[in-house]
Amino acid sequence: MNRSDQPLSIVQRAYRCFETGDMSGLMALIDAELDYIEPGQPAQIPWAGHFKGLEGFAQWLTTNQEHLDDSRILPEDFVTEGNRVVMFGRISARVRRTGRPFDSHLAIAFTVANGRLRTIRVYQDTAALRDAMA
């Protein structure tokens, strides 16, 4: 396995794509069978839920971008074991409809398979996000 195919490298490349707006590069790192979970109630946080595959991730991404401005993920640390990577950091954004800021600690757990992101689980302060949406 070369270094660019290691799970941490894949996660860091996906993060860079997200931050720079390279959505085609990001989608190229998503497994066709992706299993993505964003916590919260969709009635309060429109992009919350369970999303499957490339179409599901594209739906999540579109809905997220429709509701948030200035969204930033600031990684602070990565922990790896085998094909699993957990990123710890902060997330900040501004809710477009209310103009309210949102800032939270964040953890995202990834599983990498065949050089692509196979599972993504997001953990953040959904109460603070819900309040910023209201």
* Structure confidence at residue 123 as a pLDDT band (50, 70, 90): very high
pTM: predicted TM-score of the whole model, two decimal places: 0.91
Average of per-residue pLDDT values in the chain: 94
* Structure confidence at residue 5 as a pLDDT band (50, 70, 90): low
| DSSP letters for 1-65 | --GGGSHHHHHHHHHHHHHHT-HHHHHHTEEEEEEEEE-S-TTTSTT-EEEEHHHHHHHHHHHHH
Residue 2 pLDDT exceeds 80: no
What is the set of domains in the chain, with CATH numbers?
A: 3-133 (3.10.450.50)
